[in-house]
Amino acid sequence: MTPKLNYVLFSTSTIFFFINLLSLSLSDPRISEAGLFCGHSRPPNVNTFFTTFSQAMETLSQLVTANQWGHNHVNSTTPVYVLFQCHQDLSHTDCLLCYAASRTRLPSCLPATSGRIYLDGCFLRYGNHSFYNESIDPNTDSVICSSEAIGSSDFGKNVELLIDNLTQTAVSNGGFAVMEVKGVYGLAQCWKSVSSDGCRDCLAKAAKEVTNCAPSREGRGLNAGCFLRYSTDKFYSNGAEEVNKHSGVSVMRIALAVALAGTAFLMLLFFAAYAGYARLSKMKQERSNLGQVSLSYNESGLNFKYETLEKATDYFDPSRKLGQGGAGFVFKGTLPNGENVAVKRLFFSTRQWVDEFFNEVNLISGIEHKNLVKLLGYSIEGPESLLVYEYVPNKSLDQFLFDKNKIQILNWNQKYDIIVGIAEGLSYLHGGGRIRIIHRDIKSSNVLLDENLAPKIADFGLARCFATDKSHLSTGIAGTL
């Protein structure tokens, strides 16, 4: 065996050793979904409710970043109350990861006026009433038992002993406890908004029901005010053990750094490959969340950097807000070349909003008409999706028609020109371009007016393509209620 081959084999084995050490230090935000429950009632005004939900979640995000839990509410026609909490054993970073996962999945309940999601590491809930002190909810409290069973005759007794000691410890320990009894591991967590009596009642109910899961290998109690879980696998993080583990890993890393002095070049290649793999994985995840993105978009020059649009809007400063709707807020932005644009900031990652986002990009990126708002680009790189349009200074037609403090009173000639312009824009959509498009949500708030009061049709999220031989008539409901 040649020295060169020995060198490569040594380097390769060292790298695999290094990877194993890295895996020891990786944390677990426990984002597996334990339960998702959506209400059945709907708000009277869906668009207003979406906007209120976004506002409530925006403030909640700030509280979670600072405290790893929080609750908030926004008053409106239909108010929105929100609550989030991580399990106490999660690190700050893992808590934020768990929050991000729950924040992405829970909006699938919309437009229902209530919803809650239990991940194995955290809990997120919204509703149209103050539920912060609720410990038990007979309509939604549930128990999840795994299908795999343990054959040991003592297993049920061990589970019962664990849960009994675990819940008592949690009640006397501020609402949180982890414990192991004869190979069975458990975690109990009450929400901080619940009183000590409420915590006791919640865990008592969960304990009674989860105990009946045995001989199942795992059981989870998902109550309004608490979470209870047991498993034959150790799923929680223990503070003392985590400190020791990280300390040990640090010592090994130092020793490993000395051992790798002669393999710096190969390690550099490894890290480059790993960084490339991580980037590809991230892109793949983003695409799976946002839907399949055509490569032609990236080649078309429509793609903006998220940071560029952040700076253009002064980091979405409230003073630059032009308006808001069900999908998010619209801000005025100024690009580095001095061009003014309108940036639509979308908050949702549900399949519905993903479909509408890419539908709008796909439909209007290739059409141009004097009575249609022009799409200048988009961004899918940041925490939310962004659409960039030409800036139309006189805002929307509804503000000229229905606002109590009207910007300007339109005379008949101006109204006539606006009507004709809208008709010309619709005529072009219906048959004047290379594809036939039906807008499906024409209303005064979706008609913008430029500096000369010429109309421009906007908001193509609900638009659909139709073949020339197909009718636009449909029994499906679309557009504004």
Q: What is the pLDDT of residues 235-260, one digit of tens each?
A: 998 763 343 344 334 334 434 444 44
Query: What is the rounded distance in angstroms from the CA atom of residue 191 to the CA atom of residue 70?
Result: 10
Over residues 62-90, the mean pLDDT reads 94
Q: What is the pLDDT of residue 269?
A: 52
Q: At the top level of CATH, which class does the domain 28-129 belong to? A: alpha beta
Cα 174 to Cα 90, 189, 205, 330, 337: the distances in Å are 16, 9, 18, 43, 56
Q: What percent of the chain has pLDDT over 90?
A: 47
In eight-state DSSP terms, residue 189 is E
Over residues 330-358, the mean pLDDT reads 77
Query: What is the rounded distance in angstroms from the CA atom of residue 124 to the CA atom of residue 35?
Result: 11
* CA-based max dimension of the chain: 93
pLDDT at 87 over 90: yes
Q: What is the pLDDT of residue 336?
A: 93
Over residues 378-399, the mean pLDDT reads 84
Q: At the top level of CATH, which class does the domain 133-236 belong to? A: alpha beta
432 or 75, higher pLDDT: 75
List the one residue out of 319, 306, 314, 460 whose CA is nearest residue 384.
Answer: 306
pLDDT at 142 over 90: yes
10 Å Cβ neighbour count for 242? Answer: 14
Query: What is the rounded distance in angstroms from the CA atom of residue 472 to the CA atom of residue 481?
Result: 19
Q: 């979706």: which residue's tokens?
A: 446
Over residues 392-407, the mean pLDDT reads 83
Q: Mark whether 403 is an active-site residue.
A: no
**Matching fold, domains 133-236 and 298-466:** no
Q: What is the mean pLDDT of the chain?
A: 79
Which alpha helices (H) appear in 305-461, and where do they start and end? 306-312, 351-364, 397-401, 412-427
What residue segments make up the domains of the chain, in order of their start? 1-25+247-290, 28-129, 133-236, 298-466
Q: At the top level of CATH, which class does the domain 298-466 belong to? A: mainly alpha
Q: Among 184-188, 374-378, 449-453, which stretch is predicted with the lowest mean pLDDT?
A: 374-378
Which alpha helices (H) appear in 341-451, and where do they start and end? 351-364, 397-401, 412-427
pLDDT at 232 over 90: yes
- pTM of the complete model: 0.51
pLDDT at 126 over 50: yes
Q: What is the pLDDT of residue 245?
A: 40
For residue 189, is it left (φ>0), alpha (ψ between -120 and 50) or beta? beta
Query: What is the rounded distance in angstroms from the CA atom of residue 428 to the CA atom of residue 448?
Result: 17
Our CA angle for 14, 15, 18, nearest 5°, is 90
Q: How confident is the model at residue 181 (pLDDT cuts 50, 70, 90)?
A: very high
List the one residue out of 252, 249, 286, 254 whose CA is nearest residue 26.
Answer: 249
Q: What is the pLDDT of residue 286?
A: 45
Which of these is catalytic: 137, 314, 417, 441?
Answer: 441
Q: 């040991």: which residue's tokens?
A: 152
Please check whether residue 94 is in contact with residue 25, taking contact to mean a CB–CB distance below 8 angstroms: no
Q: Which phi and psi (to 5°) does residue 438 adopt?
A: -110, 120
Identity of the residue numbered 188: A
Residue 225, token pair as written in the block: 């005010």
Q: How confident is the model at residue 15 (pLDDT cuts 50, 70, 90)?
A: very low
Please check whether residue 166 is in contact with residue 177, taking contact to mean a CB–CB distance below 8 angstroms: yes
Query: What is the rounded distance in angstroms from the CA atom of residue 401 to the CA atom of residue 248?
Result: 70
Q: What is the pLDDT of residue 54?
A: 87
Cis amide bond preceding 336, omega within 30: no
